[in-house]
């Protein structure tokens, strides 16, 4: 199990570094190029995550609001190095191996309501993506 409570608290805490969707977009494009993938993001729809897809499968996702990258093992992170980004590396986006306190999720992503159906003791990167997209 990967506990993401503390990283989320750091990202949402007072004094957390400024992060914009423009910065996330540049880094996501670099990450997509590094894996010969494509960037998928509907900014106009207000999507929270910029997804990097390889052969139509999500291999990384960058938050548009937080210095957070979710990625599968083996994705090179050199393109986001030095950006004070927290990377959470998982075996796959489908494996329910993440956990977090509800308060950390709510503080980081702006409320508890979106997590009402999420099992905070055992969820996947896709579950987090879906709850907050």
In this predicted structure, the answer to whether residue 95 has a pLDDT above a threshold of 90 is: yes
Confidence (pTM): 0.89
User: Residue 67: which of 50, 54, 45 has the closest Cα?
Assistant: 50
Mean of all residue pLDDT scores within the chain: 90
pLDDT in tens, 44-66: 777 889 999 999 999 999 999 89
* Higher-confidence position of 91 and 111: 91
Q: How is residue 31 written in tokens?
A: 């990450």
Q: Structural domain boundaries of the chain?
A: 2-132
The rounded distance, in Å, linking the Cα atoms of 123 and 131 is: 11
7-18 residue pLDDT tens? 999 888 766 677
């Amino acid at each position: 199990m990967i506990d993401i409570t503390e990283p989320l608290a750091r990202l949402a805490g007072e004094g957390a570094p400024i992060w914009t969707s423009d910065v996330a977009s540049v880094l996501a494009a670099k990450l997509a190029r590094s894996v010969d993938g494509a960037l998928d993001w509907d900014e106009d729809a207000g999507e929270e995550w910029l997804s990097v897809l390889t052969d139509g499968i999500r291999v990384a996702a960058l938050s548009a609001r937080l210095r957070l990258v979710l990625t599968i093992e083996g994705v090179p992170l050199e393109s986001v190095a030095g950006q004070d980004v927290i990377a959470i590396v998982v075996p796959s986006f489908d494996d329910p191996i993440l956990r977090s306190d509800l308060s950390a999720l709510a503080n980081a992503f702006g409320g508890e309501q979106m997590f009402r159906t999420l099992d905070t003791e055992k969820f996947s990167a896709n579950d987090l993506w879906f709850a907050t997209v």
